[in-house]
Amino acid sequence: MTKMKKLDDPVSVLPGVGPKKVVALNKLNINTIEDLLNAFPFRYEDFAARKLAEVNDQEKVALKGTVASEPVVSRFGRNKNRLNFRLLIEHEVIMVTFFNQAYLAKQIETGKEMAIYGKWDAKKQRLMGIKILAAAAEDELGGVYRSSKEIKQSQVKKLVAEAFQAYHELLVDLIPLALRKKYRLMSRVEMVRNIHFPDNATTAKLARRTGIFEEFFLFQVKVQYLKKHNRVADGIKLDYDLSKLKVLIAQLPFTLTAAQKRVVNEICADLHHDYHMNRLLQGDVGSGKTIVAAIALYAAVTAGFQAALMVPTEILAQQHAEKFAHLFKDLDVNLALLTSATLGRASQRKELLKNLANGQVDLVVGTHALIQDDVNFKKLGLVVTDEQHRFGVSQRQILRQKGHAPDVLMMTATPIPRTLALTTYGEMDVSTIDELPAGRKAIETIWLKNKQQEQAYAFIEKQLDNGAQVYIVSPLIAESEMMDLKNAEEVYLKAKKRLEPQYHVGLLHGKMKGEEKEQVMRAFKAQQLHVLVATTVIEVGVDVPNATVMMILDADRFGLAQLHQLRGRVGRGTQQSYCLLLADPKNEYGSARMKVMTQTNDGFVIAQKDLELRGQGDVLGSKQAGVPDFKLGDPVANLNVLQVAQKEAAQIVKDPMFTTGNQSELYRYVRRSLVTGMSFD
């Protein structure tokens, strides 16, 4: 009896795929036939024979000619050999050399027409052979696949071919016919076939175009569906007490900006509805997100629910807890701080966990310690995450599951360029604080060479004389925390030597205990320390308005978003602030990045520039910026396709026919992939 074939059959159904190969394939993330068919080549080798005159030095090419000399094999070293022969191409004779492939000699006969793929050495007029092409049968383009030590890419390719042969009739079209016509796209079968085994460069390109559209389109259909689904009324309704919120707002030492008022209204409207709030609050550094969070959290408390604020570092948790304690001191809010430091003390831990579980604590501020297993809430109504880009999606998800579907507000100072808005945050509603509190002066940013450090110190000294406080950020050593620390200590000693005894210098780094960090931060806030040398632990959230100078060493080692965040630690008061970037960038890309920093303080502009520059400087750019990992499409380079796909997807999901009518194949696909868990990571 033959079993029904399914695309999710394991790869072991293919002939010759035993346990060893299964493991090797699994390591490449290929588990099923479908995975195999989706394991697209990441580039092509061009096997179409080229004209010698057009070939560049060191280029990989196929050359076609007539063998003009007997093959000669010479042996050297231990077990090494070299195979040489001459090839006549039109009127020129070149040398062809294969290393350690002496067995090829028997295929080479004088006078025979041959096509050989290899690397061209122009100086020596020599082709370093990679393989002999079976001139007639070979495709013009040969896909190159991801492979490993355990499984060669030629084997992967062979399996793809077998899988395609046996399963291609199961490939169904997910893009509706009308769209395929409108955008002149291939059917799914044709697309898959032509990506793996293109007849020529043109069909390969067309297939890829379809593939990119399909990938973005399916992603967007899921995102749009999720968004619509989230609006279903099975969340909680927070009946907050507006008069109490007004009391809180009236107590503030400042009036809210128009933008703050607007986003508070957007958030409160969501809280009041019985669907899940899933909202992103974006606002540049210093735009005043904390108070917006406080108002939202307080709203949840007045509605009789518990509320939680999750932040990425202990310093930040501490700082927010202190601010909130002050803010809510005359209001009826039972506030708690939960970090790994507070959880570390057994007695305190027990008490705290008990009070969260029995609902005694109204509002808790914490680090990721909040999402540990033994932390339970009685009635969690709202979760706010600050600087949420530091948390993974799964961490946010866990916290969300701790309540009965609490409303979620994520705050970020990393502005999202359109690309990210369309991908990473596509399923969320977005509120934007687009103005800074009045009276802020633009931070002046100056780029200096490393050898100008003394000048920088002279400047710092002058500012200190005027009563300012200063941050010095030590260079980022991404590879090792230990090196990071050593570096920070060196910078610290240097700063001490240069500025003490007149001024006091402190050190802050990630390896310090929570309590030590607290002490240092407190001393800096109290102006007992004038200069704070720090690693990037101060990157997020730290708020000391009297600090007006920021010096960043080896600034070119940091990402633009990170530099912007770091710089955001100054310019928080009414005094003129300065940011000194010390850097000797190694290339134009590095210089361009430094220039962007000196030219603008606008986080949105920086984020957009960042993506653009990364596109040129670093192929992994979009991945690092948090864009989901697409197989074919590049959301930055193919932004226009992404936009079209989003527009069409939104249209389709809106259509009531989507769940019932003739697009049911697409609908089934969406349901299936949402059940098996959709990852935006």
Residues that bind ligand ADP (CB under 6 A): 254, 256-257, 260, 283, 285-291, 413, 437, 543, 545, 572
3-state SS class at 316: helix
Question: Whole-number minimum distance, CB 288 to ligand ADP, in Å?
Answer: 3
- Answer yes or no: are the C-beta atoms of 241 and 248 closer than 8 Å: no
Cβ-based nearer residue to Mg ion, 284 or 648: 284
Cβ-based nearer residue to ligand ADP, 260 or 306: 260
Question: Whole-number minimum distance, CB 260 to ligand ADP, in Å?
Answer: 6
**Whose CA is closest to 229, among 276, 267, 195, 185?**
276
Question: Whole-number minimum distance, CB 28 to ligand ADP, in Å?
Answer: 42
- Which one of the spans 230-238, 301-309, 354-362, 540-548 is the region binding Mg ion (CB under 5 A)? 540-548
Q: In the chain, what is the greatest distance between 2 CA atoms, to the nearest angstrom?
A: 98
Residue 254 near which of ligand ADP, Mg ion, none (CB within 5-8 Å, type-dependent): ligand ADP
Residue 257 near which of ligand ADP, Mg ion, none (CB within 5-8 Å, type-dependent): ligand ADP
Cβ-based nearer residue to Mg ion, 312 or 541: 541
**CA–CA dist 396, 425 (Å, integer):** 13
Q: Tokens in use for 272?
A: 């009041």
Question: Whole-number minimum distance, CB 153 to ligand ADP, in Å?
Answer: 48
336 contact partners, CB below 8 Å, separation of at least 6: 352, 355, 356, 361, 363, 364, 365
Cβ-based nearer residue to ligand ADP, 290 or 424: 290
Cβ-based nearer residue to Mg ion, 417 or 541: 541
- Which one of the spans 193-201, 265-273, 536-544, 583-591 is the region binding Mg ion (CB under 5 A)? 536-544
**Whose CA is closest to 602, among 443, 410, 421?**
443
Question: Whole-number minimum distance, CB 31 to Mg ion, in Å?
Answer: 42
**CA–CA dist 681, 679 (Å, integer):** 5
Cβ-based nearer residue to ligand ADP, 259 or 499: 259
Question: Whole-number minimum distance, CB 369 to Mg ion, in Å?
Answer: 19
- Which one of the spans 27-35, 272-280, 539-547, 663-671 is the region binding Mg ion (CB under 5 A)? 539-547
> Cis peptide leading into 501, omega within 30 of 0?
yes
Cβ-based nearer residue to Mg ion, 131 or 390: 390
Cβ-based nearer residue to Mg ion, 303 or 508: 508
Q: Tokens in use for 531?
A: 């200069």
Residue 198 near which of Mg ion, ligand ADP, none (CB within 5-8 Å, type-dependent): none
Question: Whole-number minimum distance, CB 541 to ligand ADP, in Å?
Answer: 6
Cβ-based nearer residue to Mg ion, 41 or 541: 541
- Which one of the spans 43-51, 139-147, 364-372, 538-546 is the region binding Mg ion (CB under 5 A)? 538-546
Size of the site for Mg ion (CB under 5 A): 1
**Whose CA is closest to 266, among 429, 437, 386, 436?**
429
Cβ-based nearer residue to ligand ADP, 129 or 415: 415
DSSP letter assigned to residue 12: G
Question: Whole-number minimum distance, CB 237 to Mg ion, in Å?
Answer: 28
- Based on its alpha-carbon atoms, the radius of gyration of the chain, rounded to whole angstroms, reads 31
**Whose CA is closest to 135, among 47, 199, 60?**
47
**Whose CA is closest to 391, among 120, 629, 681, 14?**
681
**CA–CA dist 589, 583 (Å, integer):** 13
Residue 256 near which of Mg ion, ligand ADP, none (CB within 5-8 Å, type-dependent): ligand ADP
Among 541, 571, 603, 635, binds Mg ion (CB under 5 A): 541
Residue 365's beta-bridge partner residues? Answer: 309, 337
Cβ-based nearer residue to Mg ion, 311 or 632: 311
DSSP letter assigned to residue 170: G
**Whose CA is closest to 174, among 647, 673, 561?**
673
Pairing of strands 469-473, 547-552: parallel
Any idea how long the chain is?
681
Question: Whole-number minimum distance, CB 410 to ligand ADP, in Å?
Answer: 13
**Nearest residue (beta carbon) to Mg ion:** 541
**CA–CA dist 227, 225 (Å, integer):** 5
Residue 415 binds Mg ion (CB under 5 A): no
- Answer yes or no: are the C-beta atoms of 216 and 278 closer than 8 Å: no
**CA–CA dist 13, 251 (Å, integer):** 70
CA 432 to each of CA 99, 283, 312, 560: distance values in angstroms, whole numbers, following the listed order:
61, 6, 21, 21
Cβ-based neighbour number of residue 19 at 10 Å: 8
Residue 633 binds Mg ion (CB under 5 A): no
Question: Whole-number minimum distance, CB 287 to Mg ion, in Å?
Answer: 9
Cβ-based nearer residue to ligand ADP, 115 or 436: 436
Question: Whole-number minimum distance, CB 362 to ligand ADP, in Å?
Answer: 21
Q: Tokens in use for 194?
A: 């032509």
Q: For the window 484-523, what string marks contact with Mg ion as x by the rule CB under 5 A?
A: ----------------------------------------
Cβ-based nearer residue to ligand ADP, 116 or 291: 291
Alpha-carbon dihedral 485, 491, 492, 494, rounded to 10 degrees: 150
- Answer yes or no: are the C-beta atoms of 92 and 52 closer than 8 Å: yes
Residue 283 near which of Mg ion, ligand ADP, none (CB within 5-8 Å, type-dependent): ligand ADP
Cβ-based neighbour number of residue 624 at 10 Å: 12
**Nearest residue (beta carbon) to ligand ADP:** 288
Question: Whole-number minimum distance, CB 561 to Mg ion, in Å?
Answer: 14
Cβ-based neighbour number of residue 258 at 10 Å: 10
Handedness of CA 128, 133, 136, 139 (dihedral sign): negative
Residue 283 binds Mg ion (CB under 5 A): no
**CA–CA dist 349, 334 (Å, integer):** 16
Residue 506 near which of Mg ion, ligand ADP, none (CB within 5-8 Å, type-dependent): none
**CA–CA dist 232, 346 (Å, integer):** 42
Cβ-based nearer residue to ligand ADP, 283 or 626: 283
φ/ψ of 366, rounded to 5, equals -160, 170
Question: Whole-number minimum distance, CB 574 to ligand ADP, in Å?
Answer: 9
Residue 260 near which of Mg ion, ligand ADP, none (CB within 5-8 Å, type-dependent): ligand ADP
Question: Whole-number minimum distance, CB 543 to ligand ADP, in Å?
Answer: 4
Binding site for Mg ion (CB under 5 A): 541
